[in-house]
Chains A and B, each alone.
Chain A
Amino acid sequence: MSEIQTIELAARAAEEPTAEPKGGRFLFSSWHLVLIPIAVVMVIPLVWMVVTSLQTLEETRHYPPTLVPTSLQFRNYTDVLQQAPFARWFVNTLLVTLACVVGNLLFCSLAGYAFARIRFFGREVAFILILATLMVPFQVVIIPTFLIVRSFHLIDTLGALILPNLAGAFGIFMLRQFFRTLPVELEEAARIDGASRLGILFKIVLPLSGPALATLAVITFMWTWNDFLWPLITIYNSNNMTIQLGLATFQGAHQSNTNLLMAANVMSMLPVLLLFFFAQRYFIRGIATTGLKG
């Protein structure tokens, strides 16, 4: 089975699960006895997080734990926003994430198209070298990457988080594979009409590549938003922190204020959760394509 087929199947699996039975048939199946416990185990920690985020501190110190909130302390959320620069961290993360998403879409499209369609000197070697970087875990090269970024004087700036992540081997590879599945005839016709390569890419190829671009955007968004190790190493000043790093420092400072900690946690994951619910299909595609969570 080709990659593209796999991705399509995955997307369909997410979008349109094995046809849900209509009407009264299969109202209850013994599979529910398996599925309910699985779903409960997966969801309960998240539910308890939300419940705890709405409790008073006294309520969180209650045993046995309460799974149904007795009061709704929405002020926990405003308290969090007052006690730590969460708004600032949000803006920072949003800036970094958007820059990386736009950078990846642009640079990986350009490079992916060149590797898919244009014959140029050194193409194969360059492509193999790019793929080679996919094999080396980031943790292995983290020290020299830090030194390189430091030599650009980017340490403790958002640039440290953006510049190294503006393009990635994953995006180039994925888009190249996708572009190669598009019919080449359209492009050839446009070339005969005198269209430039850039014009072809932006007016013909990219408009046909919506799903692939959306997948790359969503995956890049999730990676960047959730990244921790790299910000941990390159950012020191609270003003320049991303939400994950800020959350980690907040956790260090408020270990006993469980309710506030959970409120902060809920807020930190809202953007990715929203994106997930609206673009579940592209998450699934992205994961089925290579599957890179961290």
Chain B
Amino acid sequence: MAVREANVRRVVTSDHVVGWAFASPAVLLIIVFGLVPIVWSALLSFQKTNLLSPPHWVGLANYRALPNDPLFEQAMVHSAIYTVLFVPFSVAGGLLTAVALNRPVRGIRIYRTAVFVPVVVSTIATVIIFLWVFDPNFGLANWLLGKVGLGPFAFFTSSNGALYSIVAMTVWGWIGFNVIVYLAALQGIPRELVEAAEIDGAGTWGIFRNVTIPLLGPVTLFLVVWSSINALQLFDEVYLATNGGPGTATYVPVFYLYKLAFQGGIAGYAAAIAYVLFAVILVLTIVQLLIGKRMVHYAP
């Protein structure tokens, strides 16, 4: 009996040791580069620091200054406009594209690849391509729009159009992602449900409206939440395509906080912006999930 108990204890102890030995490299990395920064970021937002000299505490001063900062307000407004356009276009567009790509037609593999490829193109590469496509003088976009009697547009170089040009560019780059997720979900819709609807006399549109869309509810909710989070974190495209301009026409929160912290030496204030942004993302996500919970019906 005693021997057996000792064995059991040894096994149990060794599980603690082995478990931590296995987990600790990754856990350590995530603590140092994931958890510590979350707490530190909060502390920074109560400090005044330029990242070089020692910081000092300023209490809530950084947060108090935010409402009186016109650039911050602009950045938030631009971010809201961007999100309100980007999310519906990329999610609804992704759904419609996925439905079309789910049809058993000839060459479907080629169509799918065409839609997926932009997903793996980096943001820098995307921006370089679209600066050229949207070039006011030699660009493809103005030429094609001219054919249907529109334009010419200044795109990224126009204060009215720059933000919308970024929307168009990012929808091109991201839509394939939503299509992939929707395609996966469409494959999961039981064939019997569609067939039953057909027997009941439902047309293509009726099936789409009353069978497909409700069944895709959870996926749509996920994509809306996910796209919104990403839309609010917009940075690369702004930095590279417009550098916030013309003027401040495309300032968004992450771009502004990058400017403040890494070019302006105002890191405490930038950290406050980061935390406000985080709060906005969190609240928006919770609201979307709560609304979604009422609207989305999960399959039994």
Is B95 on the interface with A (CB-CB < 8 A)?
no
6 contacts between A and B (CB under 8 A): A6-B185, A21-B105, A29-B103, A42-B117, A148-B33, A197-B18
Min CB gap A56→B, angstroms: 14
Known: A110-B22, A141-B38. A49 touches B129 (CB 8 A): yes
Closest to B24 in A: A111
Contact residues in B for A42 (Cβ distance below 8 Å): 114-115, 117-118, 172, 175-176
B125-A269 in contact (CB<8A): yes
Contact flag A63-B138 (CB < 8 Å), given A31-B103, A273-B117: yes
Known: A142-B261, A226-B123. 6 other contacts (CB 8 A): A1-B299, A18-B102, A45-B129, A119-B19, A172-B30, A287-B180
Report how many residues on chain B are interfacial, defined by Cβ distance under 8 Å.
Answer: 99
B112 A14 Cβ-Cβ under 8 A: yes
By Cβ-Cβ distance, the 6 closest A-B pairs, closest first, are A120-B19, A10-B184, A144-B40, A141-B37, A133-B34, A226-B122
A251 touches B (CB below 8 Å): yes
In the complex, B270 has a CB within 8 A of chain A:
yes
Chain B residues near A111: list those with CB within 8 A: 22-23, 25-27
Cβ < 8 Å to B, chain A residues 101-138? 107-108, 110-111, 113-115, 118-123, 126, 129-130, 132-133, 135-137
Please state if B113 and A280 are interface contacts (CB–CB under 8 Å): yes
Which residues of chain A come closer than 8 Å to B112, judged between CB atoms? 14, 17
Tell which of B60-68, B69-77, B205-213, B228-236 binds the partner: B228-236
Q: Is the CB of B106 within 8 A of A21?
A: yes
The answer to whether B124 and A118 have CB atoms under 8 Å apart is: no
Contact A107 B184 (CB under 8 A): no
Q: Is A222 an interface residue (CB 8 A)?
A: yes
Q: Describe A's contact surface by its main secondary structure.
A: helix
Question: With A35-B101, A62-B138, A65-B140 known to touch, is A143 a contact of B122 (CB < 8 Å)?
Answer: no
Contacts of B34 on A, CB cut-off 8 Å? 130, 133, 136, 141, 169
Residue A153 lies at the interface, judged by CB distance under 8 Å to chain B: no
B226 contacts the other chain (CB 8 A): yes
**Contacting pair A287 B181 (CB below 8 A):** yes
B132 & A258 in contact (Cβ 8 Å cutoff): yes
Identify which of A20, A67, A139, A148 contacts B274 (C-beta below 8 A).
Answer: A139
**Given contacts A19-B104, A197-B22, is CB(A164)–CB(B33) below 8 Å?**
yes
* B159 interface residue per 8 A CB criterion: no
Among A69-77, A181-189, A207-215, A260-268, the one that faces the other chain is A260-268
- A5 is an interface residue with CB less than 8 A from chain B: yes
Pairwise interchain contact A140-B117, C-beta atoms closer than 8 A: no
Q: Is B194 an interface residue (CB 8 A)?
A: no
**Bound: A140/B235 CA distance, A:** 12
Taken together as a complex, chains A and B put the C-alpha atoms of A32 and B108 apart, in Å, by 9
Determine whether the beta carbon of B104 is less than 8 Å from that of A18.
yes
Interface residue? A90 (CB, 8 A): no
Q: A225–B27 contact, CB under 8 A?
A: no
Residues from chain B with a CB closer than 8 A to the CB of A12 are: 187
Decide yes or no whether A43 CB sits under 8 A from chain B: yes
Is the C-beta of A194 less than 8 angstroms from some C-beta in chain B? no
Q: B2-10, B275-283, B289-297: which one contacts chain A? A: B275-283
